[in-house]
Chain A
Amino acid sequence: MGRRFDIKHVPGFLPVTILCLVVLYAPLLVVTIYSLNDSNSITNWEGVSLRWYADVFTGPEAEKFKLAAWNSFTIAIIAATVSTSIATLAATAMVRGGRFRLRTVSFGLISMPLMVPEIVTAVATLIFFNSIGFTRGYSSILLAHIAFCIPFAYMPIAARMQGIEDSYEQAALDLYATKRQAFTRILLPMMVPGIISGYLLAFIISLDDFIITNFVKGAGIETLPTAIFGSVKQGIKPNIMAISTMLLALSILMVTISYFVSKSDKKT
């Protein structure tokens, strides 16, 4: 007897899925393994060691990477905080503001950073800062990051708010709460999973950004991606693989947190 007839089953799709996962994960796995290589060359394997991780913090390029990491993380924290706050307010207007003329326009504006190719945004932002005479540096990177992080923060927040029936706020209003109280005491606490997801996404997007940062950063300031790119241009070195592995682990950690936050919330 063959297997039970299942209309959904298509032979061959499972191997393709496995191939897909292999292609997605193999490079990351390989880099992680080679970051532990106790060798000056990236090609030969000479046993396991953490020397390149030590090199990142104490080696000749340590100062450069420390500064770049400081810039990257402070920019990501500030940009994610500001863009998440802006996105939360915008989502409230878009999802709880009824139908209005500026709604479509606003939606277009919010999703603009997603539709415009990143390199075009980068060029446009560079030109803008240049034409108003804004000195390029930390603050120009920060401003650009705040802008393009907004849609990434907005999407999970708006999705979450759409999933909350308005009868909760109405119940609060019905029980003598003001609209402000209904927002801060009821809607906002219910939004927390969406806001956490939005914040984490914005944080990762800011931390990962290379193209826009590369355009608007100006000379003399680096973030982790631009510093890594500069190094890679001279060839892949083992310390780059150690940094990459650390960033990779951080991204996966944050996405995993975001996943479990939304999952645990669905259960209640």
Chain B
Amino acid sequence: MQVTDDRINAIDIRNAVKRYGDFTALKTISLSIRDNEFFTLLGPSGCGKTTLLRMIAGFEDVTEGEIFLFGDEIEKLPPNRRPINTVFQNYALFPMMTILDNVAFGLEMKGESKAAARKRAGEMLELVQLSQFSSRKPSQLSGGQQQRVALARALAPSPKVLLLDEPLSALDLKLRQAMRFELKELQRETGITFIFVTHDQEEALTMSDRIAVMSAGELQQLGDARDIYERPSNMFVADFIGETNLLEVEVDAVEAGRAQVHLGGGHQLSVDAVEGVGKGAKVHMSVRPERLYLSEGAEGPESLAGTVRANMFVGTDIQTLLDLDGGVQISVRSSNSERGNKRVFEPGQIAHINMEQGAARLLAD
């Protein structure tokens, strides 16, 4: 098997289904993860992302379907025969063993001599800058250090794929942000495919080469961070990722890649057409609040007039809430910077809401 061959995916999941009795946790998932990729499974808790990860690791049976690792079918293999290692959410460091023995464990189980395993383990600890702690027990380390030991332990046997199950969730905010860069760096250095599970969209957006958004046991969208943020393919993704205005619209006409729509209050707008949304369709439109700006008069054709209801100070931004005719509500974010120098409207004043190019996106469902 040629690992360097670009056409061979690190992981191929084909029509995988997971059922527990009557409950279907995963509904026919097909997914390919490329070699040397930082891939993220993102979704709210209960969406099936951890189940999918555990199926790749071998902790859960696959009810139907196949999983391939660099072209080899693995879904029937027990976890100890898959060259895949996992960083567990609670790290699962063996409490009675020293840090060095923890890191050496996988190599020893693979049949390497104790001396060789320990030598390699020492190198791994150096890589994560924990050499001075090698003779300590896990409980004597901080959360961040334990996390790096867990990484070293999982990487020591040189797995073909590394699975990470919400590895940052137990850390405090500052450490979590620092670890994002470390993880990304480690992935680049080792060249190993990382599959990362998280419910934290910021983590997913900042670290991943590609993201699979999941919900209710189904794959909602697959793409890079920009795709998912700016071109959400459905209501769930638009709503789950970031903050957005979801507006009900009716399509009046579709022509030359543009769709003419109107809102509840009769406001007319022209937006990019989307496949599957034709004339007469009543669908939702997603508009990111930071892609809107306020002005006294209309600037451009895609402009709506509304009454300011309230301003909220959110630190980096100021969020303005406006009422439009027909009970429509829109939130607008403007940057809290001198350079922006946009006028702040007081509650009760009339303001025009202007859209940047491509800010609005029609959603098929």
Contacts and interface: CB of A to CB of B under 8 A. Distances in A.
Contacts of B181: none
A168 interface: yes
Contacts of A176: 80-81, 106, 109-110, 157
Interface in A165-184: 165, 167-168, 170-178, 181
Interface stretch (B92-100, B167-175, B189-197, B340-348): B92-100
B94 A170 contact: no
A173 B92 contact: no
A175 B92 contact: no
Given A181-B109, A268-B139, A173 B80 contact: yes
Given A174-B85, A175-B109, A165 B90 contact: yes
Interface in A147-201: 165, 167-168, 170-178, 181, 186, 189-190
B38 interface: no
**Is the contact region of chain A dominated by helix, strand, or loop, or is it mixed?**
helix
Contact of A175 (B95, B137, B153): B153
A175 B105 contact: yes
Contacts of B68: none
B57 interface: yes
B295 to A, nearest CB: 55
A178 B80 CA distance: 7
Contact of B90 (A167, A174, A178): A167
B88 A172 contact: no
Indicate the member of B57, B78, B89, B95 with the most A CB atoms within 10 Å: B95
Given A176-B157, A186-B94, A190-B96, A171 B109 contact: no
A173 B78 contact: yes
Contacts of A167: 88-90, 92
Nearest to A167: B92
B276 to A, nearest CB: 42
A186 B101 CA distance: 12
Contacts of B153: 171, 175
B96 A175 contact: no
Indicate the member of B79, B93, B154 with the most A CB atoms within 10 Å: B79
A170 B88 contact: yes
A51 to B, nearest CB: 49
A186 B346 CA distance: 65
The contact size tier of chain A is: 10 to 19
A174 B53 CA distance: 13
Interface in B73-89: 78-81, 84-86, 88-89
A171 B86 contact: yes
A181 B94 CA distance: 13
Contact of A173 (B79, B95, B110): B79
A172 B58 CA distance: 12
B168 to A, nearest CB: 16
Indicate the member of A170, A176, A189, A190 with the most B CB atoms within 10 Å: A176
Contacts, number: 65
A35 to B, nearest CB: 42
B23 to A, nearest CB: 14
Contacts of B157: 175-176
Contacts of B137: 268
A171 B84 CA distance: 11
A261 to B, nearest CB: 14
A65 B130 CA distance: 60
A175 B81 CA distance: 9
Contact of A177 (B59, B84, B85, B109): B109
A177 B106 CA distance: 7
Contacts of B106: 174-176
Contacts of B58: 173-174
Contacts of A165: 90, 92
Interface in A89-125: none
A170 B90 contact: no
Contacts of B86: 170-171, 174
B95 A268 contact: yes
B110 to A, nearest CB: 5
Contacts of B95: 190, 268
B109 A170 contact: no
A167 B54 CA distance: 11
A123 to B, nearest CB: 44
Contacts of B105: 172, 175, 177
A177 B80 contact: yes
A268 B96 CA distance: 9
Given A165-B92, A167-B89, A175-B105, 16 more contacts: A165-B90, A167-B88, A170-B86, A170-B92, A171-B92, A172-B109, A173-B58, A173-B59, A173-B78, A174-B79, A174-B106, A175-B80, A175-B106, A176-B81, A176-B106, A178-B80
Interface of B: 57-59, 78-81, 84-86, 88-90, 92-96, 105-106, 109-110, 137, 139, 153-154, 157
15 contacts: A167-B88, A167-B89, A168-B94, A170-B57, A171-B86, A171-B88, A171-B93, A172-B109, A174-B80, A174-B85, A175-B85, A175-B105, A176-B110, A177-B80, A268-B139
Interface of A: 165, 167-168, 170-178, 181, 186, 189-190, 268
The 6 closest A-B pairs by CB, nearest first: A175-B106, A176-B109, A171-B92, A167-B92, A173-B79, A177-B109
